[in-house]
Structure 1
């Protein structure tokens, strides 16, 4: 070990005495335990005296070597740091709340206590400012500032003259629409910004040439906060509110509230800029913010001003949030009503946060004005929401098809785009506000799951927002495809054959997409729900294991349910049926009205609804697939010429193929199939046609009407069933009494009943044979 010189060793001992006195008097007795020096030339332990008096410490240090003193100092400093860390980490909730409460009210109490010296201290700052320049220096300062400002104004005027043609002619009120208004306002705003940029560069160039650094320290904040920022705010407000041109206004607000908000927005920017300028001015002239607390009063004035503006203009702001879109929901109306109250609450909460940060001496953060940035984005929220709805309304593709289905799909699509836009805009505003408060959410979210509550909360919020956007995008795509498929199917007008069913079904996508949408939405909710729970620091492995065990138990306990689901999947893969098709399942007939993952619902043409699980379908007959052939029977008397009937059928078929109402529904025209059979009444003639499913009953009804008219025109009668009764002495029919007539009628009725029963038996036998 190197030998330490005697003067240096004496200095070390003196420092050791002073440090040990400070540590010994400021640390608890529990920290005064025997310690072994971290370095030294002996192994003897060094213990502190029970009573740490200056004499005892001086005597102890005199006996110790230099390395022992150094080691003892290091150990004592480590012990003090550990004790302080333990004390900070050991704070309870009550202690934290108490410290927060003290931090909240202490700036107010301090500001009130500094009221007597508020004006005198500002007078002192002004005196220091005057003394630093002198009377002649002040005259030069203001004269040079005036020259620089005049140069900036001149540059702005020249720029406006050169760019006048960019703005174009004034748009007439009757010709104004969104695009013309937006184009005009954008060009005008661009001219304003370009003029302000020219003003700034000219003023800066002249200012740097005329003013020295001390003068620039006053002039630069003065021009920035009290001239440039208010004019920038006025340009932005003119673009959004157009206070003097209601026909060009981008937001839904009347002239009164547009003018009110325009004036007060400029006033808010001016008051906020004056606050920042005055705080900096006092600091540069020897008066700190702790001496006057003027920042407290000015900041409070800004927040009260914001709250008053929102409260006074609550009707106009509600109208602005509501917009002009007629397709608004009850949620939109509630948000529009609650927005002004929410804004007042945010102004109050922001003021409270500022007070707490000031109580914790976080003045460096507050000097960047994060609370003003927060309220700026809050003021801009109605304009952002209006812009989202306007863009969606004008950029959304036109409605596909016509009718209530297409209209409902169009509205749902628009609502989805608006929701997605609001989520994206909300995340952007949150990031901007967090950045103003120097709170990097992106790095915080990447810090790792479970490290801090804030990290977990940010990850949770981002996960939920991402899942919601994906949910809306999937719903948007599927609903749009579904609307396109549904509206592309031509509906059959009129009475579908007296409600006999057999209509044409939708497309395959119309049947599959609703199930796909439900499955996709459920999957997104489950996946992002688990991810969100995991981002809170909760281990989701037991949840996944429990879900697997539960699924296994359900699979064993509900095998029939699994059978139904699997059978339904294969039925859909085979394209066995579609929504709207007329099918028969084991003697049950009806139109497929609704399908789920387990069963299908059939609507009988008499109104009955049958629910059939997929697993119970042994065979399914579809009456509505691709095409349908209908055969019609007509019975004519025996003396009718069959060739004449054939010509009539051919004529009707040709005429109907020329009718605009029917020609697109025929796949093959109506034509005769000749004599089908003879019965005891007459000749049975048969005709047939092929048509699209769902149109056959309307066509059949029209064919019946036309055949009747043509038969009447050509003297052809339909054969009628007759019962002839042979009576002995039939030549004396006129002389029959009532009893004889009754007997004859009974005999005829019995004969007719026998024939009807025979026909029914034949039909039943044919059906069983089929």
Structure 2
């Protein structure tokens, strides 16, 4: 069954269920006030029946009992049983009400409610026992039947009355049949028309309903005419009116269900129901209608014709019991379909599924049949007990229940719309306070839950009040006022705490936002303010919890004492933790480090990612996260505090002119400071300190840049790159580790030749003869392949030296040209 059809089926089921006791009460009450067209006396109601069973009836019953031997013996045995009972047991019925009243007064409203409930249960049990006794002891009904059929005069009057009633009913049926036959063509014409719009479809439905009411009106008119024209006794006339009313009421009800459900004509059905569901509802509507209307009206008519009032009361209670049993069967048969309709479709969006109304429907889906059964039992109890004003009570309670549910639903919808439109944030406010919408959405579900719970409580109290439970009385009592005051106080405390927390958060966020907009880098504030906010949150939660417990009546003094003892124990047992907290607090207050700084803590270095009151978290260059307790920190080196310094040590060969190198470094530094990418980063001109050290193989010259925080590494790398390129261009040697092999010289300065032997042959083998090439490189390559010793011929050695000298001269020329371009003097 589609979801919409299922929901409509559930609504129709609920409407039928709620109207069942009211219809039964109407069927009982209305005939008593109806008269025929010619007038007459009202029919005996239940109150009149009870009046007729007063002292006179009881005396007559006592006389009948004494005349009957069997009944007289039963009465004697009952009296003897009462005589044998103890005195206190006999006096219990007289003293019990007073004691119960006193106990109820002492116990308060709840005790009174339980006492009243106990009394009603006792009355219901008594009525059921009496009814069963009357059903199985039908002596009076048998006596009445014998008296009627044994008395020719009374029998003739009864048969005459039945004949007149049959004449009235036959005349009504004849008129009903003739008029219905005459309206066949108009009914078919309306049935053939198709609605081009839903509104026209409902108009056609109303026209068909009007045509269905015309034959019913004809039945009523013809039957009333026969009543007026015939000479009937008042009781017979009232009995006829009761049956006429039963027919008219049942036909009107069934005509409405037939038009609405259209079980045999699906094309005329205006509500989305399947054929099976429509026929199912139509069958059950017919069962309830005919049993309630004809059962109660038939018993009423029989009472008007002389049926004993006790038998009439039993018949009426049997009808009520049958209706209640049918209602129970009907509810249990439709438990699952209605529950599925209340839960909603399976593909419901997740956001819709978590709404309060959806959650409430899902919870009620599992217990709706229990509530419906409770309603049926309550209505049956009211009717079966014959409570004074029972019809008015059921009608009023049912109507007030429906009104309370409708008003509650309207309030629910209005509040949801108010939440959506009233708490929306305009774009300007979002831009000014970016997190305002997020915080508002955080509290909206809580606010919505509180208001929805309030609506449910108000509706529940109204329903309880409508059904006779003094819920308002409990609210206005001392205990109720105390409970409501406590709830309101707790809500106010929570509201004030939420407002205070939001003001704190708003202040922190606005302050940090101002820092970002002004370009200030107050990382201390960015670090301390969130920590202070979290500390205030802990304090706020603690205070609110203690105040709420105090409002609930809990003595918080032992809690405070226990908290002090626990805190002392924790302080002694967690000295390392206390040390971490105190050290971290002083580090934060002294502004030693902040989130985002590059620091070295002990042997670990990296960027400060997060800081708590106890630990610091560093992310190193390799991406590793180090968590270091403050208590284990001895030395902290902050490399990004206030400003940065790029210290550059440049090593040159001893042969280079130091003054010339310093001048080159100054020009390179000026070029770097004027670069577009670095001029805003470097905050001061480069400082050259001079010769820093005379190392083993180099002369070290030190210079320094002052930069913005964290930019000295980039400036240092760029300076090193430019120095290397410039020195290469100018021929300034940058020493690097190497070794010089010295073979010694003779007195004339000549050095012996270095002979290179490439060993490849096996031990004991003679070297292979070599081939002299015109090119020394080819000779050396061939010798290396053969594992021979190489001794280039003089002519090849001279060629190699000539090439080397030419390359050296070319390099010196290029260096001199670069020095001239740089404005440096020529080398001597």
- Give the TM-score band, short-chain normalised: 0.3 to 0.5
Instruction: State the TM-score, normalizing by the size of structure 2.
Output: 0.43
Larger radius of gyration: 2
Instruction: State the TM-score, normalizing by the size of structure 1.
Output: 0.46
